């Protein structure tokens, strides 16, 4: 088994050898050991845009499966997108399957008529994106959710928002929608949970969530504020509505990074997002007091599956001209999935 130093050396050599033929995007939630080799870091929207601009033959995507699929959808025909570990999925994306979505659509369109527009968080499979694209909808990311939701509301239809109920709810409330104008679709029981009459409902939220961001709570905030009232709480909109409401700031990964970067020296922040990013913010801003809102930290298990050995292995296979874990979206889904993403970019 190669040592850490050997793996690092190997990666540096392969990067040198492949030169412009290789591009390594790294999501902000990736491990430090991986991020050090990333050619660009960013949130899911930034990485999608970088991938679109690059012409490298190989895009070795350090992130999770749905992000690599998005990169493939935006890639040119000669490009190959590689995910160093196929087990790097996203539990939230797995909460909406194509079959469940079709079932939900059939039930809801029968109940509400054709007046339904699907919108999906990019944290979803290419099959869900294709479903959304086929029905005239768009993808959103946490950094453009407000813009896309505003567009969707302007279409004069009820919206079905997949798969993260929290991003959907938090964004709609931000835009002035009342909670009783929303209902939640339970894909397991195949029922709509609602507190008001059908006519009042404008937004149907898929009952999905992030297994990492669900671990930030109002109780943690109350405890913290009792002991240290000068700590500001900043959270990702994948957190529960109550958490977002009680926080000082809420926004996408990019927003969290920029808010902390632009804060004056001596600022104190408790951050409600993935552990690797919180630790990196802490290391990059030694003049500020930065910690996780959850004292036990919160790691995304699947993001963390991309590690040094997997990155080295994926790169070594490129040198051998035998790429592994190539992510290729099914031809049957490609056009519709791309339509949903293109609509987002156009908005």
Which residue in 238, 246, 269, 290 binds ligand 13P (CB under 6 A)? 238
- Binding status of residue 279 toward ligand SF4 by CB under 6 A: no
Q: Which does 91 bind (CB under 5 to 8 A by kind): ligand 13P, ligand SF4, none?
A: ligand SF4
Sign of CA dihedral 86, 90, 91, 94: negative
Q: What span, in angstroms and rounded, lies between the C-alpha atoms of 167 and 293?
A: 19
Least distance in angstroms from the C-beta of 159 to ligand SF4:
20
Q: What span, in angstroms and rounded, lies between the C-alpha atoms of 127 and 224?
A: 42
Pick from 63, 56, 58, 59: nearest CA to 85: 63
Say if residue 121 carries a ligand binding annotation.
Answer: yes
Q: What span, in angstroms and rounded, lies between the C-alpha atoms of 130 and 146?
A: 21
Say if residue 135 carries a ligand binding annotation.
Answer: no
Max CA-CA distance within the chain?
Answer: 63
Q: What span, in angstroms and rounded, lies between the C-alpha atoms of 91 and 88?
A: 10
- Binding status of residue 144 toward ligand 13P by CB under 6 A: no
Residue 121 DSSP SS3: strand
In the complex with ligand SF4, the residue whose CB is nearer, 22 or 243, is 243
Chain CA centroid to CA 139, Å? 11
CA-derived radius of gyration, the chain: 21
- Binding status of residue 302 toward ligand 13P by CB under 6 A: no
- Binding status of residue 90 toward ligand SF4 by CB under 6 A: yes
Size of the site for ligand 13P (CB under 6 A): 9
The Cα-based distances of 243 to 51, 179, 236, 280 in angstroms read: 33, 15, 10, 23
Q: Which does 211 bind (CB under 5 to 8 A by kind): ligand 13P, ligand SF4, none?
A: ligand SF4
Which residue in 10, 120, 253, 325 binds ligand 13P (CB under 6 A)? 253
In the complex with ligand SF4, the residue whose CB is nearer, 24 or 167, is 167
- Span from 90-98, 173-181, 226-234, 249-257 in contact with ligand SF4 (CB under 6 A): 90-98
Which residue in 33, 40, 91, 316 binds ligand SF4 (CB under 6 A)? 91
- Binding status of residue 95 toward ligand SF4 by CB under 6 A: no
In the complex with ligand SF4, the residue whose CB is nearer, 8 or 254, is 254
* Residues contacting 267, CB < 8 A, separation 6+: 232, 260, 288, 289
327, 305 in Cβ contact below 8 A?
A: no
Q: Which residue has the tokens 């909406």?
A: 96
Residue 41 DSSP SS3: strand
Say if residue 122 carries a ligand binding annotation.
Answer: yes
65-74 vs 331-346: helix axis angle to the nearest 10? 80
Which residue in 41, 44, 51, 170 binds ligand 13P (CB under 6 A)? 44
In the complex with ligand SF4, the residue whose CB is nearer, 137 or 237, is 237
128, 96 in Cβ contact below 8 A?
A: yes
Which segments are annotated as binding site? 27, 44, 90, 121-123, 142, 210, 236-238, 253, 300
Q: Which residues bind ligand SF4 (CB under 6 A)?
A: 29, 64, 90-92, 123, 210-212, 274, 300, 302-303
Q: Which residues bind ligand 13P (CB under 6 A)?
A: 43-44, 123, 141-142, 210, 238, 252-253
Which segments are annotated as binding site for [4Fe-4S] cluster? 90, 210, 300
């Amino acid at each position: 088994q190669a040592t850490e130093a050997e793996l690092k050396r190997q990666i540096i050599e392969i990067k040198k050898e492949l030169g412009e033929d290789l591009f390594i995007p790294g999501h902000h939630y990736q491990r430090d050991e991986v991020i050090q080799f990333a050619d660009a870091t960013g949130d899911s929207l930034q990485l999608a845009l970088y991938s679109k601009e690059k012409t490298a033959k190989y895009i070795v995507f350090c992130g999770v499966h749905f992000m690599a699929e998005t990169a493939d959808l935006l890639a040119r025909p000669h490009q190959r997108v590689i995910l160093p570990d196929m087990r790097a999925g996203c539990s939230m994306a797995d909460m909406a399957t194509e079959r469940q979505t079709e079932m939900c659509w059939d039930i809801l369109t029968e109940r509400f008529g054709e007046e339904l527009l699907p919108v999906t968080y990019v944290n979803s499979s290419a099959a869900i994106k294709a479903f959304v694209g086929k029905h005239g909808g768009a993808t959103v990311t946490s950094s453009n959710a407000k813009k896309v939701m505003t567009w969707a509301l302007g279409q004069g239809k009820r919206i079905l928002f997949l798969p993260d109920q929290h991003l959907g709810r938090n964004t709609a409330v931000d835009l002035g929608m009342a909670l009783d104008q929303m209902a939640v679709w339970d894909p397991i029981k195949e029922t709509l949970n609602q507190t008001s009459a059908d006519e009042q409902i404008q937004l149907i939220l898929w009952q999905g969530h992030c297994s990492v961001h669900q671990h930030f709570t109002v109780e943690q905030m109350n405890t913290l504020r009792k002991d240290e009232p000068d700590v500001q709480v900043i959270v990702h909109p994948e957190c529960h509505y109550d958490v977002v409401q009680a926080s000082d700031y809420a926004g996408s990964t990019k927003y969290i990074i920029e808010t902390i970067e632009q804060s004056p020296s001596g600022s104190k922040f408790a951050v409600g997002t993935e552990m690797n990013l919180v630790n990196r913010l802490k290391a990059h801003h030694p003049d500020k007091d930065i910690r996780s809102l959850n004292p036990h930290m919160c790691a995304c298990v699947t993001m963390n599956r991309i590690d040094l050995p997997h990155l080295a292995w994926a790169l070594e296979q490129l040198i051998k001209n035998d790429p592994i874990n190539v992510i290729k979206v099914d031809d049957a889904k490609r056009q519709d999935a791309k339509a949903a993403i293109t609509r987002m970019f156009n908005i």
